[in-house]
Structure formats: C-alpha cells, structure tokens
Amino acid sequence: MVYVRQEKLPNLKQYKYSGVDHSLLSRYVLKPFYTNFVIKCFPMWMAPNLITLTGFSFVVVNVLTLLWYTPTLDQDCPRWVYASWALGLFLYQTFDAVDGTQARRTRQSGPLGELFDHGVDALNTSLEALIFAASQNFGLGWKTVMTLFATLLTFYVQTWDEYHTKTLTLGIVSGPVEGIVMIIGIFIFTAIKGGGSFWQQSMFRTVGIPQYAFIPEYVYEMPFTEWYIVQGGVVMGFNTIQSCLTVIKARRARGDKSRGALLGLVPFAVTWTLIPAYLYLNPNILNNHLVPFVFLAGLINAYSVGQIITAHLVKLDFPYYNVLVLPLTYAVFDSLGPFLTEHIGIGWPSALGDGEYEVAYMFCMLGMAIGVYGSFVVDVIVTICDYLDIWCLTIKHPYNEQEEAKKSL
C-alpha cells in the first residue's frame, strides 16, 4: 500500500520544525542538563533516530520485566523492578529530548526525524500506561483502561493540535515534561515503599489528615490510585479544552472554519466508543487478556497518530479513516447480538462466542495491527529516505564544514 504519493513528496523540503516549550522545569533544569552534559556523551557519527530508538529500547525492557513479575498488573514486584522502571523512563525521556539537539549538531534535521520521534512516542504512550497501572496494582480491569484512555487521548489531541496549528506547543505543565518526571518520582517512591500495594491505602489517612465531619466517608477512604485517576481526568480535560481553543484560534486567524478541525477528534471518539463496548461485552478479555488488548489499542492509536504526522509533513488532508477499527467494529457487532437477545429478546447469534474463539480473534486483531502498522512505518520511512537521499538509523552524508564552505563560495 502506498501511503505517500510521489506528487506530494516535494512538500517534504518545505517542512520546518516549529515548537514552543513553556515549561519552567524544562527551561531551567532539564535543557541545561541535556545541552551541557548529556549531548556530549553521544558521538558525532550517531544518527538522531538511533538515539530515539535506543531510548525506546529501555521502555521495552521495562515492559519485559513487567510481563515477568506482574503479568496481571496487581502483584508487588521486587524493589529493584520499580527502580528500573524509573531509570528506564528517565533514560527514555533523556534520549528523546537530545535527539533533536543531535540532529542540529550533525546537520541532520528534517521531516523524518519528526515522524520517527513522534512515532516512537506514540508506541511508548500505551506501554507507559501499562507500566504505570502495574506500579499502582490496578490489575486487569477498568482502572487500567481509564489510564490508557487518558494517556492516548492526551497524545492524540497534542498531535491533532500540531497538525492544525503547525506548531508543537508544550504548556507550563505538560505530559512529556512534568508528567514523565512525576511518574518517575512515583516509580521511585513505590520502590522505597516496597510495592504497588502501598497506593491502595486511603490517601487522607496515610498522610495523616483527620476525618473531619465535612469530608464524606467515601472521599476519606479513597485510595491514592483513585485520586490519581481524578487528577489525571482534570488535567486531561484541561489540556483537551486548551488544545481545542488553540486550534480554533489558529484556524480563524487563517480564515478557516473551526468546525472542520474539530471533526478530527471524531476518529478517536469512535475508537474509544468501540473499545469500552468491546471490553464490557467480553469480560473474559477485560479480566484475563487485557495486556495484549492494551497493545492492540496502542497500535490502533499509533496508526492514527502516524497518519496525522505524515499528513502534516507532506501537507495531506486530515486522515479520518483507520482500517484497524474495522475488525474491532465486527467484534463489537458479534458480541452485541447475544447481549441484546438476553436483555430485550431480540438479537443474533455470535460467530465467535465468549470462549477460546473470542480470545483467538483478539490475538488475530493484534497480529493484523502489528502487520498494518509495521507496513505503514516501513513504507513511509523508505519513501522519505529514498526521496531525501538519507538513511534512517545511520548518517549517510556526514556534515563537513569545509566542504559546505566551498559550496557556498
């Protein structure tokens, strides 16, 4: 399948990265650390995309330890596991931050770097949601699903925002900076306390707040995990509204209608109408096979985000269609028949049932998602590399200051 037509490729040479970071933590702490120390650890021959991929490998290792020690996301792990999750996420954030500096340093900046960086971030989003759920002992259930929803929505909206405003904007408090630092801190504290079961306690009682009469019983007994969900929901809602207002303002400034832009949120809404519906109709998947389903949901989102980024780079229309939603739609339709028959007496028989065939179909959806997303990534990267005469993970044309000076004469 061809994802980028040849006549659109010249737009790649018009691409210029635009980003605004309002984070005080980034400006006064992280960026000086990256530019004055970390970047010096990487040789000039190392391609920026290789730095990005190396950083992602630390997250993959974290997921492997998760699958070994707490595959059900509700078991306390050895302390070093949580510490390794903190280290892996810190290294990922660091490598992800310095790849752009390395690109400017080696004169390798370009559209492929943006696509590769965002693509890796899209995959990391769902994996970190899974790791965070394990650190809180959320288990295989709706709390993990809500965590996944919040993280995927935040990343999707940020990418949608960048497509319409042409600028990547990070606020004073943002997920890629403060959000990651906070999660690293949670991992470290979990290691100190000896496991995720610590977060299942009442937050008010644990920190020593008395049970005043004006505090309802259910509020006082809410564990840390539920307060995290509340806090995440508030931040997610604020960031989504802020991005919508930013997009509307940017489009109106260009004389475009804002309603068309807001339709870009529909694909995500459709996907996340199907996902909870599927899990509700198939409790076996929710309670026993949620981890591979999280991988599936992450790939569906990564494919949508990848299409948006590609459209941004080569100036295509906004991509509303995601083929990976089709098998999920069928799965919901298949499971809905018996549900309707049971509750209203009118429905249709299920072809998959709720046993091994349903599980097998879920893994088939995961396999299809890996194949489709993998073909998309390979096709787009190869197309861009061929057109710009570059390599993805190595530097094909090293920058030579003397030769460039001669060319300019």
Domain-wise residue ranges, the chain: 6-408
- Residue 21 sits at φ, ψ, to 5 deg, of -120, 110
- pTM for this prediction: 0.93
What is the tens place of the pLDDT at every residue in 154-202? 999 999 999 988 888 777 777 778 889 999 999 999 999 988 999 999 8
Give the burial string for 223-247 (b: 16+ CB within 10 Å, else e): bbbbebbeebeebbeebbeebbebb
Per the CB < 8 A criterion, the answer to whether 313 and 383 are in contact is no
- Residue 19 sits at φ, ψ, to 5 deg, of -145, 145
C-alpha 59 chain-centroid distance = 12
Which residues of the chain register pLDDT less than 70? 1-2, 400-409
pLDDT computed for residue 408 by the predictor: 53
Q: Is 312 a catalytic residue?
A: no
pLDDT computed for residue 275 by the predictor: 97
Give the DSSP letter of residue 23: -
Nearest to 17 by CA among 108, 130, 142, 135: 108
pLDDT computed for residue 38 by the predictor: 92
Tokens representing 307? 């299409």
Q: Which value, to the nearest 10 degrees, does the dihedral of the CA atoms of residues 127, 125, 273, 144 take? A: 50
Instruction: Look at residue 19 and give its three-state secondary structure.
Output: strand
Per the CB < 8 A criterion, the answer to whether 144 and 133 are in contact is yes
Q: Catalytic residue, from 118, 289, 312, 397: name it.
A: 118
**DSSP of 240-299:** HHHHHHHHHHHHHHTT--HHHHHGGGHHHHHHHHHHHHHHHH-HHHHHHSHHHHHHHHHH
What is the C-alpha radius of gyration for the chain, rounded to an integer number of angstroms? 23
Residue 362, Cβ density class (10 Å: 0-12 exposed, 13-18 middle, ≥19 buried): buried
CA distance 115 to 120: 9
pLDDT computed for residue 406 by the predictor: 55
* Residues whose CB falls within 8 Å of the CB of residue 242, separated by 6 or more in sequence, listed in order: 171
Nearest to 322 by CA among 151, 96, 122, 52: 122
C-alpha 222 chain-centroid distance = 28
